[in-house]
Amino acid sequence: MSPAAAASPDLVRAAALRLVARAGLPPGSRALDVPCGTGLLLRALRDRGLDAVGGDRDPAPAAAAGLPATAMDLERPLPWPDGAFALVACIEGIEHIEAQAALVGELARVLAPGGALVLSTPNVLGRPSRTSWARHGYARFFRPTPVGAPTPFEHEHLHPIDLVRLDHLLRRHGLVPEAYDGERGPDGSPSLRRRLLRRLEAPRLRRHNPRADLFLQPAVYFSRVVAVLARRASRPA
């Protein structure tokens, strides 16, 4: 992966950190950042008092920054035991993976009961991406590459994953979504025009789409990149 692809954008990282704060983890909680790339999010987690480690196909950039990073492959089982972490962050990673369902299962496996997952991905069902489909024939951040390129889409992306499928995979593995955020903030920071468009579109979505309430959440509707906070159920008492 190129250095540019290995570093999450500042606004996306900020969204992830807002959700981490919302998770309410005590200082010293064990945390995992995969893929950790250059280590910017990993360092931010450690600066916030979490006992955070990272994993990446190429851990050298994070290790060179003095951060604890392990070589691993998100296409394979994660090299950590069940329930090892109170927090797992997977920021701008799942769209680079073929085995997305297996990855969500692995992220859930290494979470302790009551633990939190923060995951971000390009928001292919948000209004900016749907506008891109109408104008250009592809979702935002998934412009097709020429024949013979190493990956089918720009930014070394392999597969888009929409929020409906992601929500399904999370719930299938015992993770319940609690909150959404995005590069525009949790409210989507809409202009008056964008707020009006959402209000006008809402009745049609609710008539035809059983998941309209998910689509109409501001961070989902307005964002180009969406982040979700999901919680693993606690063990029964």
Query: What is the per-residue pLDDT for 135?
Result: 96
Query: What is the per-residue pLDDT for 1?
Result: 46
Closest CA to 120 of 19, 234, 6: 19
The residue whose two tokens read 């950190």 is 17
pTM of the complete model: 0.93
Closest CA to 218 of 201, 200, 236, 195: 195
Amino acid making up residue 97: I
Tell me whether residue 58 is exposed, middle or buried, using C-beta atoms within 10 angstroms of its C-beta: 0 to 12, 13 to 18, 19 or more.
middle
Q: Which two tokens stand for residue 90?
A: 């997977």
**DSSP single-letter state for residue 75:** T
Q: Which residues of 156-191 are buried (b: 16+ CB within 10 A; e: fewer)?
A: bbbbbbbbeebbebbeebebebebbbbbbbbebebe
Query: What is the per-residue pLDDT for 235?
Result: 62
Q: Name all domains of the chain by residue range, CATH numbers in brackets.
A: 3-123+159-187+224-232 (3.40.50.150)
The residue whose two tokens read 């059983």 is 210
CA distance 152 to 142: 8
Query: pLDDT tens digits for the chain (237 residues)?
Result: 444 444 468 999 999 999 999 999 999 999 999 999 999 999 999 999 999 999 999 999 999 999 999 999 999 999 999 999 999 999 999 999 999 999 999 999 999 999 999 999 999 999 999 999 999 999 999 999 999 999 999 999 999 999 999 999 999 999 999 999 999 999 988 789 889 999 999 999 999 999 999 999 999 999 999 999 999 987 644
Closest CA to 85 of 24, 25, 17: 25
> What SS3 state is found at 173?
coil
The helix or strand, by DSSP H or E, that contains position 18, with its residue range, turns out to be helix 10-23
Neighbours of 70 (CB within 10 A): 17
Query: What is the per-residue pLDDT for 9?
Result: 86
Q: Which residues of 17-48 are buried (b: 16+ CB within 10 A; e: fewer)?
A: bbbbeebebeeebbbbbbbbbbbbbbbbbbee
